[in-house]
Amino acid sequence: MLLSICIPTFERVQFLKNCLNSIYIASKNVKSDFEVCISDNYSSEDIKKIVNYYKKKFFIKYNRNNENLGMGKNIIQSAMMAKGEYTWIIGNDDLLFPESLKKIFLILKSNKNIDFFFINSANLEAKYTIESKKLFNTKLIPKNLPKFSPIKKNLELNFLDLIDPKISFDYLLGIYLSIFKTLKFKNNIHIINSKLINDKNTFSNFENTAPHVKIFAKSFCKSKAYLVSEPLSVNLYGAREWNNLWDFIEIIRIPEALYEYRKNGLNFFKYHFYKNQSLKNFLPCLIKIFLAGDRGNAKYILYYKHIIKNMIYPNFYLSILYFILRKTKKYI
């Protein structure tokens, strides 16, 4: 089997319906050479009913956890179900274009020397797909949607060259951006700290926020990668229940993702240059986090690691100026 599409899911049954329906539409353009692996994180909604419906249309493996394991652990759980040569983890609110599988199969088969593929994605407001309770037809996806990555041409490059804000501003935090060799990923699952990933508090540590990034950095640091500039998925914004934590993710977890790549070989100068860029909104975001208190995850900020160590970077201070300039420009 060539590809495992892994979906860690929790609640949001209407989004999952649309996601699976998009896979079904895309599957009509290919011979069956994929599986879908769904890890249900103890949803109260009837996920299995939807799964059973789509099992008649393509091959699905379904597992329901006996309790909610937390978001990070459920991501890993879904990937561990994969038996395909390559794995693609997507959210239950992501969609495939009708031609996506056909194009992905061609890319994978034409680049057997590649371990990791960056797959660009298009951005679409979530309410566009769920204004009615009918299944969303991906043949009606609007044209010329904004792209996640501005890169305009396909590139073969070293994996660590993907770690560039011009390619991925969140340094592969978005799970839907990556297709990778399954075996290499699974061989490095052991680097995840079991105590940290078992913490069920939302984004309370890096392990339970982005375990895939830690595994990517270790597994593929010496690998060849391939960047696909054409969006082959659609990620929906405004659907995620953790939107209120974006400030925390931006200034705490994204810089930590960058550090994982530094530990695994990212160039010293690139690391510090990108780290400074990642702090361009630091102080305004930090203020908003503390004002929000527990709702903003303020209690998970480590003063020395997340604040004092960042004071060597110019953007720590300039972030206030950037904020004032943005607000001034907006009102002018």
The domain locations on the chain are 3-240, 268-331
Question: Mean pLDDT lowest for which of 28-37, 151-160, 236-245?
Answer: 236-245
Asked if pLDDT for residue 219 goes beyond 90, the answer is yes
Tell me what pLDDT residue 329 has: 81
pLDDT top residue among 131 and 28: 28
Q: Taking 70 as the threshold, does the pLDDT of residue 83 lie above it?
A: yes
Judge whether residue 132 has pLDDT over 80: no
- What is the structure's pLDDT at 327? 86
Conformational region of residue 70, where left means phi above 0, alpha means psi within -120 to 50, and beta covers everything else = left
Question: pTM for this one?
Answer: 0.96
The pLDDT mean for the chain works out to: 95
* 135 touches 53 (CB < 8 A): no
Instruction: Judge whether residue 330 has pLDDT over 90.
Output: no
How sure is the predictor about 118, in pLDDT bands with cuts at 50, 70 and 90? very high
| pLDDT of 178 over the 70 cut | yes
- In the three-class reduction of DSSP (H, G, I as helix; E, B as strand; rest coil), residue 126 is classed as coil
Determine contact, residues 118/148, Cβ cutoff 8 Å: no
Predicted pLDDT of residue 130: 82
Which of 20-24, 132-136, 142-146 has the least mean pLDDT?
A: 132-136
**Contact between 182 and 87 (Cβ < 8 Å):** yes
Domain 3-240: which topology?
Spore Coat Polysaccharide Biosynthesis Protein SpsA; Chain A (3.90.550)
CA dist 179 → 20, 30, 237, 258 (Å): 18, 18, 21, 19
Residue 8 has pLDDT above 70, yes or no: yes
**What mean pLDDT comes out for the span 104-121?**
98
CA–CA gap between residue 178 and residue 158 (Å, rounded): 14
What is the structure's pLDDT at 306? Answer: 98
pLDDT of residue 243: 79
Mean pLDDT for the stretch of residues 126-141: 87
